[in-house]
Amino acid sequence: MNITSPTIPWTTSDRSAVRTQSDDVRAVPAALRSEWIKLTALRANKVILALTAVIGALIAGVLAATATDPTLTASELFIYPLPLVAMLASVVGILMFTGEAQHGTLAVALAARPARWVIVAAKTITATMVGLALGATGMIAGFTGAALGGVALGSGSALTSRALWALLYIALASLIGLGVGMIARHTAGAITGLLMWSFVIESLFAPALPEGVRHFLPFSAGYRLLDAGPNFEAPVAIANQLARPQYAVIFGGYALVSLAIGTLLLYRRDSN
Amino acid sequence: MITVTGLTKHYGDRTAVDDLTFTVAAGRVTGFVGPNGAGKSTTMRMMIGLTHPDQGEVRYEGVRYTDLRHPARLVGSVLDARCMHSGHTARNHLRAMAAMSSIPASRVDEVLIDVGLESAADQRTGGFSLGMRQRLALAGALLGDPQVLLLDEPSNGLDPDGIRWLRLHLTDFARRGGSVFVSSHLISELSMFADDLVVVGGGKLLAAETVEAITARQAATVVAETPRPADLARVLAGPHVTVETTGDRLVVRGTTKATVSQLAFENGIRLVELSEVAPSLEETLLDMTGASAEFASA
């Protein structure tokens, strides 16, 4: 092994320079580049993206092919796979933190950037982008699958509105996953907890709760962003629903709180 | 230079690190030794801001690690060679590290060549041997061309060629003005290139001196063989002198070969063999840390 000469001209003052708050802000793009490399270098994330497309096309396609209502269009069916896509986005969000914690690379990142909020900011931006990418993939695949399943394409203006709310839903789901991952720090625990809450606790107990309380459950609120339509809701439930921006605030509030708690714990906990 | 002042860490009722104060000088290799559970790893984690000390601080050229704008340009560290994602290739692992620390991507290939991993650059680290992981971890520490290296058991898993390279590189790094702080259980290996030692036991500082000063704490052992072991033991007896007799062989501590020779001659005791065994660093350290070892062999 040989020692090569370094190509970086650090000065003495470079090496021992004291950071300021503006230095930390300027460090966010660098941290973001690092997160992007880590995300795209993993085969598993590419598999999840492909899986999202398959799920989207398959679910919407099957619903279209078996639909008994002739007025259903692809512009409505494309959102039906999205609760599952949201779960995938949450899982990716969890893994963005717990994967690093369990492999020890979180310690490497924290040693490189002692201002821990820089790491959080980079991961938050990356998780948002992941959610948007998975959401767009799921919707495009869903729309294509529904069209191939034999239904009409439907209205363009309604499609745009639903797509934008759906992107917000998936992006927030990814952020909730990141926040839960930062709190739990353990992959199996975080994923199990999130899935149990969403598919078991909320699904089993939510119907027994008063409507006024159900609005404020995280995934019940998030699902309302999709505006699944009257086919799956009783008219009195539709009449008692909040407006979509209100559901966005509720679901977004859970994302914000989980990230805030996760950030606080990241600062307080020792990182081994 | 690294200045550690009053570093303390408690975990519940247990004090893992207790008021550690020492310096790591520039241009020297400082070994960090102590038995298992002595607080070495906790100390090193506090030195790079991963663990919050309850008291005390660590400064590099007068600046706290957590206040450095670009820590990797001053301090390179390897605390655990397993800190890499098994799904990433060696190159991508280093690319991510370089990006995080705003280090040019060109450094990635340079350090891969430095540590001899250029041919494995595009292999996933999940398939790496421990030795390869150690080399990759070292490459990560060298990315920023730092002036300080903090290494926790860096020779674990390295083959003899790798251990020799590591020893030469760390020595060269120090000779060029860098500070090296390396913990190791391989005392014999450490004694070959460390200039100074920081010895801890039970979380407390036991010594912070040069290797020569620590080795000199233990007197040489004199070995003598004689047909009259009981007579020789009698004439050698005195304050601070211990004699262990096995058959015709005596192991004497607390005196010199010249003194044993003189006393034997004066008392007409024939010596078959007389030799002096210099104290080993390992024996000296084991004596120093023996009482504070958390897990000791029977």
3-state SS record for chain A: CCCCCCCCCCCHHHHCCECCHHHHHHHHHHHHHHHHHHHHCCHHHHHHHHHHHHHHHHHHHHHHHHCCCCCCEHHHHCCCCHHHHHHHHHHHHHHHHHHHHHHCHHHHHHHHCCCHHHHHHHHHHHHHHHHHHHHHHHHHHHHHHHHHCCCECCCHHHHHHHHHHHHHHHHHHHHHHHHHHHHHCCHHHHHHHHHHHHHHHHHHHHHHCCHHHHCCCHHHHHHHCCCCCHHHCCHHHHHCCCCHHHHHHHHHHHHHHHHHHHHHHHHHCCCC
pLDDT attached to residue B286: 75
- Domain contains B297: no
What residue type is B144 in one-letter code? G
- φ, ψ of residue B216 in degrees (nearest 5): -70, -10
CA–CA gap between residue A36 and residue B92 (Å, rounded)? 11
pLDDT attached to residue B81: 83
- Tell me: do B130 and B234 sit in the same domain: no
Mean local confidence (pLDDT), B258-262: 92
CA-wise closest residue to B186 among B205, B170, B174: B170
Contacts of B84 (CB under 8 A, 6+ apart): A103, A104, A105, B93, B125, B133, B136, B137
Q: In the predicted model, is pLDDT for residue B185 greater than 80?
A: no
- Higher confidence at residue B27 or residue A242? B27
Mean local confidence (pLDDT), A255-267: 96
pLDDT attached to residue A130: 96
Q: In the predicted model, is pLDDT for residue A239 greater than 60?
A: no
pLDDT attached to residue B53: 95
pLDDT above 70 as % of chain B: 96
CA–CA gap between residue A260 and residue A266 (Å, rounded)? 10
Task: Please name the helix (run of DSSP H) or strand (run of DSSP E) that holds residue B262, with its range, or none.
Answer: helix B257-266
pLDDT attached to residue B242: 87
Q: In the predicted model, is pLDDT for residue B20 greater than 90?
A: yes
Any idea which of A232-246, B80-94, B104-118 has the lowest mean pLDDT?
Answer: A232-246
pTM listed for this prediction: 0.86
pLDDT attached to residue B239: 83
- Higher confidence at residue A160 or residue A124? A124
Structural domain boundaries enclosing B9: 2-215
Nearest CB neighbour to B99, from listed A2, A3, A34: A34
Partners of B93 on chain A (C-beta within 8 Å) are 105
Q: Which residue in chain A is spatially nearest to B73 when comparing CA positions?
A: A15
pLDDT attached to residue B297: 56
CA-wise closest residue to B182 among B17, B44, B11, B19: B44
Residue in the block written with tokens 């999840």: A48
pLDDT attached to residue A166: 94
- Tell me: do B250 and B133 sit in the same domain: no
- Domain contains B293: no
- Tell me: do B129 and B274 sit in the same domain: no
CA–CA gap between residue A51 and residue A33 (Å, rounded)? 25
CATH of the domain at B72: 3.40.50.300
- Higher confidence at residue A232 or residue B151? B151
Partners of B89 on chain A (C-beta within 8 Å) are 41
- Domain contains A22: no
CB A158 within 8 A of CB A229: no
pLDDT attached to residue A48: 94
- Tell me: do B208 and B233 sit in the same domain: no
- Domain contains A43: yes
- Domain contains B33: yes
Residue B7 near chain A (CB below 8 Å): no
Q: What is the pLDDT of residues B236-255, one digit of tens each?
A: 988 888 899 999 999 998 88
CA–CA gap between residue B41 and residue A193 (Å, rounded)? 32
- Domain contains A15: no
Residue B72 near chain A (CB below 8 Å): yes
Find which of B1, B67, B69, B117 to mutate to test the A interface (most A CBs within 10 Å of its CB). B69
CB B95 within 8 A of CB B106: no
Residue B234 near chain A (CB below 8 Å): no
| B37 pLDDT tier (thresholds 50, 70, 90) | confident
Q: In the predicted model, is pLDDT for residue A62 greater than 90?
A: yes
What residue type is B195 in one-letter code? D
CA–CA gap between residue A193 and residue A190 (Å, rounded)? 5
B50/A270 touch (CB, cutoff 8 Å), yes or no: yes
Determine the distance from the C-alpha atom of residue A176 to the mean position of all C-alpha atoms in its chain, rounded to a whole number.
Answer: 7
- Tell me: do B47 and B65 sit in the same domain: yes
Q: In the predicted model, is pLDDT for residue B257 greater than 50?
A: yes
- Tell me: do B199 and B229 sit in the same domain: no
Mean local confidence (pLDDT), A233-238: 51
3-class SS of residue B167 = helix
Q: In the predicted model, is pLDDT for residue A228 greater than 80?
A: no
What ipTM, to 2 d.p.?
0.87
CA–CA gap between residue A96 and residue A91 (Å, rounded)? 9
A34/B96 touch (CB, cutoff 8 Å), yes or no: yes
- Domain contains A19: no
User: How does the average pLDDT of chain B come out, rounded?
Assistant: 90
Nearest CB neighbour to B99, from listed A18, A30, A44: A30
What residue type is B116 in one-letter code? G
- Higher confidence at residue B184 or residue B53? B53
pLDDT attached to residue B295: 53
- Tell me: do B110 and B171 sit in the same domain: yes
CA–CA gap between residue B99 and residue A116 (Å, rounded)? 16
pLDDT attached to residue B293: 58
CB B189 within 8 A of CB B33: no
Structural domain boundaries enclosing A98: 27-268
Any idea which of A196-205, A239-248, B120-129, B241-250 has the lowest mean pLDDT?
Answer: A239-248
Q: In the predicted model, is pLDDT for residue A237 greater than 70?
A: no
CA–CA gap between residue A221 and residue A255 (Å, rounded)? 12
- Domain contains A21: no
Mean local confidence (pLDDT), B30-37: 90
Residue A22 near chain B (CB below 8 Å): no
Distances (CA, A) of B204 to A99, A174, A223, B201: 35, 46, 57, 5
Q: In the predicted model, is pLDDT for residue A2 greater than 60?
A: no
Number of Cβ atoms within 10 Å of the Cβ of B12: 6
Question: What proportions of chain B, in percent to the nearest 5, are helix, strand and coil?
Answer: 35, 30, 35
Any idea which of A149-153, B157-161, B213-217, B294-298 has the lowest mean pLDDT?
Answer: B294-298
CB B37 within 8 A of CB B203: no
A270/B45 touch (CB, cutoff 8 Å), yes or no: yes
Mean local confidence (pLDDT), B98-125: 94
pLDDT attached to residue B75: 95
Mean local confidence (pLDDT), B44-67: 95
Number of Cβ atoms within 10 Å of the Cβ of A207: 9
pLDDT above 90 as % of chain A: 62
CA–CA gap between residue B15 and residue B43 (Å, rounded)? 12
pLDDT attached to residue B296: 53
| B136 pLDDT tier (thresholds 50, 70, 90) | very high
Q: Which residue in chain A is spatially nearest to B68 when comparing CA positions?
A: A18
CA–CA gap between residue B167 and residue B149 (Å, rounded)? 13
Residue B62 backbone class (left: φ over 0; alpha: ψ -120 to 50; beta: rest):
left
Q: Which residue in chain B is spatially nearest to A28 when comparing CA positions?
A: B100
Q: What is the pLDDT of residues B70-81, one digit of tens each?
A: 999 999 999 988
- Tell me: do B184 and B240 sit in the same domain: no
CA–CA gap between residue B208 and residue B200 (Å, rounded)? 9
Contacts 24+ apart (CB under 8 A), B127-131: B128/B90, B129/B157, B130/B81, B130/B156, B130/B157, B131/B157, B131/B158, B131/B159, B131/B162
Please tell me the total number of residues recorded for chain B in this structure: 298
Count of structural domains within chain A: 1
pLDDT attached to residue A230: 40
Q: Which residue in chain B is spatially nearest to A12 when comparing CA positions?
A: B74
- Tell me: do B153 and B228 sit in the same domain: no
Mean local confidence (pLDDT), B123-144: 93
pLDDT above 90 as % of chain B: 66
Residue A264 near chain B (CB below 8 Å): no
Task: Report A:25-64 residues touching B (Cβ under 8 A).
Answer: 27, 30-31, 33-34, 37-38, 41-44
- Token digits for A9? 């001209």
Q: In the predicted model, is pLDDT for residue B19 greater than 90?
A: yes
- Domain contains B87: yes
Partners of A30 on chain B (C-beta within 8 Å) are 99-102
Q: In the predicted model, is pLDDT for residue A189 greater than 50?
A: yes
Nearest CB neighbour to A10, from listed B52, B116, B145: B145
| A151 pLDDT tier (thresholds 50, 70, 90) | confident
- Higher confidence at residue A59 or residue A207? A59
pLDDT above 70 as % of chain A: 92
- Domain contains B289: no
pLDDT attached to residue A73: 87
Mean local confidence (pLDDT), A161-172: 94
Mean local confidence (pLDDT), B216-227: 84
- Tell me: do B68 and B200 sit in the same domain: yes
Partners of A6 on chain B (C-beta within 8 Å) are 107, 110, 145
CA–CA gap between residue A151 and residue A226 (Å, rounded)? 20
- Tell me: do B51 and B114 sit in the same domain: yes
CATH of the domain at B248: 3.30.70
Nearest CB neighbour to A111, from listed B60, B77, B96: B77
Q: What angle do CA A41, A7, A11 make, to 5 degrees?
A: 115
Count of structural domains within chain B: 2
Nearest CB neighbour to A15, from listed B66, B74, B92: B74
pLDDT attached to residue A231: 47
CA–CA gap between residue B261 and residue B269 (Å, rounded)? 9
3-class SS of residue B267 = coil
- Tell me: do B161 and B247 sit in the same domain: no
> How many Cβ pairs within 8 Å bridge chains A and B?
140
CB A199 within 8 A of CB A216: no
